[in-house]
Structure 1
Amino acid sequence: MLNNAISPLAWFKALADETRLRLLRILARHELSVGEIVAVLGMGQSRVSRHLAILVGCGLLSSRREGAWTFYSLAAAAPEADFLAGLAPWLAAAGPEADLAAVDEVLRERRRETRRFFNTIAPDWASLRREVLGELDPAELVRAVMPAAVGLAADLGCGPGDLLPVLAERARRVIGVDSSPSMLSLAERRTAGLPVGARMGELEHLPMADGEADFLVICLTLHHLPDPAAALAEARRVLAPEGRLVVIDFAPHGDEVMRRRFGDRWLGFSREKLSEWLDRAGFALADWSEHPVNRGLVAARAVAIPRQPSPRSAQ
């Protein structure tokens, strides 16, 4: 039942505009920044910002500020989310197909930018990482929660392969996945002679079979991805039912230098946001710890396990 304090009149008024309908349609596919929305719609920023303000004002859109960037997405909470869900069949046709093609191109360009960045800085990545992490050793954070014996372990976004020898200490087989050819070349040289294989691929579309892995690590990689939630969903797909996922990344911060110098797309993740994405992907958050590093940043380690279906739903 609709709360008496909430009137749908503002929603219907907001919908009475073609541009705002197009905005809802494209943001139903993905969270986008203002600049990306401008590129998709081919309109001036002031015009786009005015329509975004109307949709945020009536509650149909949510805005999220990260440093100097603002991202927009459909409202996720009731009753606005329920209202938008009911409109979904009509929103699907509320604009030209070129809008959706432009969104897909924005996401592809995000991935290309990330790949170009890591291909360029691959030789210097170890020193850059030490500059931020200081004395913190991600290997120790992984060892502390890795089972003593593992069938197949994988480092998703393995970079130059720093963690692959660590996984090989306890796993019969190890896979490193990365989208950067330069990074994978370094990883292969680092793991010569070990039972380690390298696979090129995006974390949102892993080159792995369903349930193939028993232990997964995503270390300081999520904040580079265009769609971290999709990567976590893929991790759930390739993880065995009794497996374990370890995510190491930054807690929320406002250091814009991390974007410019290290190619970060997201300025960290809160426990609440990561828990939300993990839950949506089919995980339960089993452990969370935080570890101060350089530049006033905090590295967080999340341990997640596949959420088991309830006895009733399994029947």
Structure 2
Amino acid sequence: MELVRFCKALSDETRVRLLHLLLRHELNVGEIVRALDMGQSRVSRHLKILLDAGLLTVRRDGLWAFYRAVEQGDARAFLDGASRLFTREPMLLADLEKAEGILQERVESTREFFDTVAPEWQRLSRDLLGELRLPEKLSERVGRCSVAVDLGCGPGDLLRLLADHCREVIGVDNAPRMLDLAHSRFEGREDVSLRIGELTHLPLRDEEAEVGIFSLVLHHLSDPALAIAEAYRTLRPGGRLVIAEFDRHGVEAMRDDYGDLRLGIDRNELCRWLDRSGFQAPVVAEYDVNNGLRVLIYESVKK
């Protein structure tokens, strides 16, 4: 009986603490160990029980595994009902605070990486993409528009092209040195606005933009789905979202060489995120690049 199985799985304090974290965040074992201050073998044992009960899912990403609570079905309905009790427990809230600190370390690590490689980023991009001129491909898809936003603009390669045929362009990035490079390219340009901020909490007004672009940035984020939902908020009705992203792959070296958190993103998962946020089913184009990687360009419209 499903209800008995679910209740048995939650009959242990450690597993309640685990589920409380994983209802809110996707974490790997090492991060869970740090958040709960427990041994890895203990955490792994309880994760297996929750997985076997159907209350968790696991996403394999190369050598890493990330856990989160199930997002649909009877198991999710059960967890949503039980989760109302979690807010009464100080221990659970303390666990959540520690986990959020660990996730902030992910953000800081990515920012530090891009600040470090900012002067070399164009060369690194060429080494990776080979003959694919990605900024040009994306600019062609955007075409003429009133306001275009490059979400994760880096040193401004795409912004330069967008500014040729958009009335106003906005670049958002969380790496100060990347934005410094972009500022040096657009100093005095009133039609180019550069803003520092996180892609999951955009420094943009509701419905401020006509077109939004993510160019090979979602795989650097802990929560790409939240970034897509934020992009939806900032787009006008009928606005377009263009996403360039690596298809899922197994090149572990990308974590060290390019600061990647995810080894690409499965296209079916990305399409689910778009649909859940309120976008139409995307049109997808494919381009093979170096190291056996494939870049997918998604074009979708806000419903």
Tell me if TM exceeds 0.5: yes
The structure 2 residue matched to 1:110, chosen from 98, 106, 111, is: 106
CA deviations over 1:115-143 (Å, ceiling 9, x no partner): 11111010011111111110111123213
Q: Which residue of 2 aligns with 1:209?
A: 205
TM-score, reference length from structure 2: 0.96
Q: Which residue of 2 aligns with 1:44?
A: 39
Aligned counterparts, 1:268-283, within 5 A: 268-283=264-279
The structure 2 residue matched to 1:66, chosen from 40, 47, 61, is: 61
Q: Which residue of 2 aligns with 1:313?
A: none
Q: CA deviation at 1:255?
A: 0.7
Q: Which residue of 1 aligns with 2:236?
A: 240
Task: State the alpha-carbon separation in 2 of the partners of residues 37 and 170 from structure 1.
Answer: 47
2:272 pairs with 1:286:
no
Q: Secondary structure at the match of 1:210?
A: coil
Q: CA deviation at 1:197?
A: 1.5
TM-score, reference length from structure 1: 0.92
Q: Which structure features the higher share of helix residues?
A: 2
CA deviations over 1:158-193 (Å, ceiling 9, x no partner): 011110011112111111110011000111122345
Q: Any conservation in 2 of the 1:27–1:72 contact (CA below 8 Å)? A: yes
Task: State the alpha-carbon separation in 2 of the partners of residues 287 and 96 from structure 1.
Answer: 42
Aligned counterparts, 1:242-261, within 5 A: 242-261=238-257
Q: Which residue of 1 aligns with 2:291?
A: 295
Q: Secondary structure at the match of 2:249?
A: coil
2:34 pairs with 1:30:
no
CA deviations over 1:213-244 (Å, ceiling 9, x no partner): 11111101111112111111110111111211
Task: State the alpha-carbon separation in 1 of the partners of residues 232 and 184 from structure 2.
Answer: 29
The structure 2 residue matched to 1:264, chosen from 260, 264, 289, is: 260
* Structure 2 letter corresponding to 1:279: D
Q: Secondary structure at the match of 1:269?
A: coil
Unaligned runs of 5+ in 2: none
Q: Any conservation in 1 of the 2:244–2:296 contact (CA below 8 Å)? A: yes
The structure 2 residue matched to 1:98, chosen from 77, 94, 98, is: 94
CA deviations over 1:55-76 (Å, ceiling 9, x no partner): 0011100011101110001112
* Structure 1 letter corresponding to 2:276: R
Aligned counterparts, 1:140-289, within 5 A: 140-147=136-143, 149-194=144-189, 195-289=191-285
The structure 2 residue matched to 1:84, chosen from 69, 79, 82, is: 79
Q: Secondary structure at the match of 1:164?
A: helix
Q: Which residue of 2 aligns with 1:121?
A: 117
* Structure 2 letter corresponding to 1:39: R
Task: State the alpha-carbon separation in 2 of the partners of residues 165 and 234 from structure 1.
Answer: 24
* Structure 1 letter corresponding to 2:71: A
Q: CA deviation at 1:285?
A: 2.6
Task: State the alpha-carbon separation in 2 of the partners of residues 93 and 15 from structure 1.
Answer: 16
CA deviations over 1:231-290 (Å, ceiling 9, x no partner): 111101111112111010100001110001110001111221111111222212331111
Q: Which residue of 2 aligns with 1:132?
A: 128
Q: Any conservation in 2 of the 1:243–1:305 contact (CA below 8 Å)? A: yes
Task: State the alpha-carbon separation in 1 of the partners of residues 199 and 142 from structure 2.
Answer: 21
Q: Any conservation in 2 of the 1:285–1:302 contact (CA below 8 Å)? A: no
Q: Identity rate of aligned residues, in percent?
A: 48
Unaligned runs of 5+ in 1: 1-5, 308-315
Task: State the alpha-carbon separation in 2 of the partners of residues 179 and 223 from structure 1.
Answer: 15
Q: CA deviation at 1:77?
A: 3.0
* Structure 2 letter corresponding to 1:281: S
Number of aligned positions between the proteins: 301
Task: State the alpha-carbon separation in 2 of the partners of residues 295 and 256 from structure 1.
Answer: 11
Task: State the alpha-carbon separation in 2 of the partners of residues 92 and 25 from structure 1.
Answer: 10
